[in-house]
Amino acid sequence: MQEENLYRWWEYYARIGNRLHLGGRTLRILDSGRFSPIRGPDFKGALFELDGIRMQGDVEMHITAEDWYRHEHHLDREFGNVMLHISGRSGKEDATTVYHQMLPQSIPDLVLPVPDAAGEHAVHLCRAGISYAQNLPDRLKQLAVERFNRKVHQFAHDLRRRNVEAVFYEYFMRVLGYPHNGAAFQMLSRRLPSNWLAQWLPKFWLNAEQLYAVYAGLASFLSSSASEKQVKQLRDIFRKWRTHLPFAPMDAALWQFNGNRVANHPHFRLAGWVAFLQQYHYHPLHMFHELLAARKDPAIAIGEIHGFLNLPVEGYWQRHYALGKILNPGKNLVYWGKDRQLEIIINLILPFFTARAILNNSEGFADYLTDLFLSIPLNSTYRSVLKNVTWKQDCLQALNRQAVLQALIELENTYCRPMLCCHCPIGRRP
């Protein structure tokens, strides 16, 4: 069993509205809440009745109740509004509650029934049909473009209201934080806004240490208890600049450090951003615009974007993955690997400039950028979306591009998770 199955059945039971009798308790889900794939509870703002008492709050799900403690959610303030814990099966101790250090009362833990796909009362998810393979490449492209356009519309909405440089800067920082610290990096960008950078960056010219110190101080990365020489130097620099900064430091608890791969650690990601600004003289927006405006062959254009994002690591960060944390064995060669570069291209660069093209009535340029998105070769980024797709080989053969994975994400979010099988554009039916 995987947690994704619990998500689907939670939403299914919310949709049918039946009362569930679980371990002597009665649960009726009135509103599944908002699914959250990022850090924090799985569903936020859910509405349900437990033993006839209506409750509203967050819901967290695990395979067993022990995972709640194994992931240290009981110590994490992000989970302080959890009202219900859902398990996929009974754990070793058959717990009926879990606790959180911020809450005076325990949190009910219920085992949600997830029937076998062959069971009498099962909802058969995505069983093979005859028609699904017809026009499969076109249908996958349609789904991929739908997901791409969602991003385009979000950028267009923001660009109508805000400065172009500010939107690009803020979303670039957000993408750097994926998958666990996107919101935190976006908040950091607001602590040091683009207009401040435009005014003060000349003072940091070719001095990455000063710029990193300012960012790290505002991010609350420079712990007063850290004794390493490098951290002390950064802390001293930040103190000198503190009076010139527009906002106070962030709450350190907003960052998620546990569970990150070495290359995904926020300290290292931030070092990559500073190196990027230094490398391209603080004007990455104009650099990308000139590259894309040339409308080169897709393979050449994507290759050049990768080249711009392929930043070699030098100095301190070759041997450290975080401040005061030595990387052993080996060393860092680049700040952003191929997968991270592709996330930046798919989630920021192409939809952002497509939105600008649409707002500037440049339909031809927008079409070129959409075609560029559809032409990106397939690699390992987002391959995790294939793990629950039994017919994935059909999709990969039909559209051997990165767009197929974006299509499957759109399919999952729009049709599979809410179980709208009858509207599925792939044509599979239960």
pLDDT digits (tens, 9 = 90+) for 14-26: 888 889 998 889 9
The per-residue pLDDT for 121 is: 38
The per-residue pLDDT for 384 is: 59
The per-residue pLDDT for 152 is: 97
What digits encode the pLDDT tens for the residues 371-407? 999 999 887 655 555 655 556 667 777 778 899 889 9
The per-residue pLDDT for 378 is: 85
Spatial CA neighbour of 86 closest among 78, 75, 98, 76: 98
More confident residue, 223 or 76: 76
Highest mean pLDDT among 118-132, 201-215, 396-410: 396-410
What digits encode the pLDDT tens for the residues 26-36? 999 998 888 87
Highest mean pLDDT among 91-100, 156-165, 318-327, 380-389: 156-165
Amino acid at 246: P
What digits encode the pLDDT tens for the residues 229-267? 889 999 999 999 898 899 999 999 889 887 678 888 999
The per-residue pLDDT for 178 is: 85
Mean pLDDT of 273-285: 83
Highest mean pLDDT among 75-79, 162-166, 195-199: 162-166
Q: Is the pLDDT of residue 301 over 90?
A: yes
Q: Where are the domains of the chain?
A: 3-111, 163-349+360-377
Band the pLDDT of 123: cuts 50, 70, 90: very low
Mean pLDDT of 339-344: 91
What's the chain's Rg over C-alpha atoms?
24
What digits encode the pLDDT tens for the residues 173-186? 999 998 888 989 99
Spatial CA neighbour of 348 closest among 162, 179, 176: 176
Distance between CA atoms of 166 and 416, rounded to whole angstroms? 35
% of the chain surpassing 70 pLDDT: 85
**Mean residue pLDDT across the chain:** 85
Q: Is the pLDDT of residue 59 over 90?
A: yes
Q: Which of 38-52, 189-203, 390-404, 415-429 has the lowest mean pLDDT?
A: 415-429
214 to each of 173, 188, 204, 207, 305, how far by Cα in Å?
15, 11, 10, 12, 28
The per-residue pLDDT for 237 is: 92
Mean pLDDT of 357-379: 95
Per residue, what are the HEC states of 134-195?
Answer: CCHHHHHHHHHHHHHHHHHHHHHHHHHHCCHHHHHHHHHHHHHCCCCCHHHHHHHHHHCCHH
The per-residue pLDDT for 428 is: 52
Q: Is the pLDDT of residue 224 over 70?
A: no
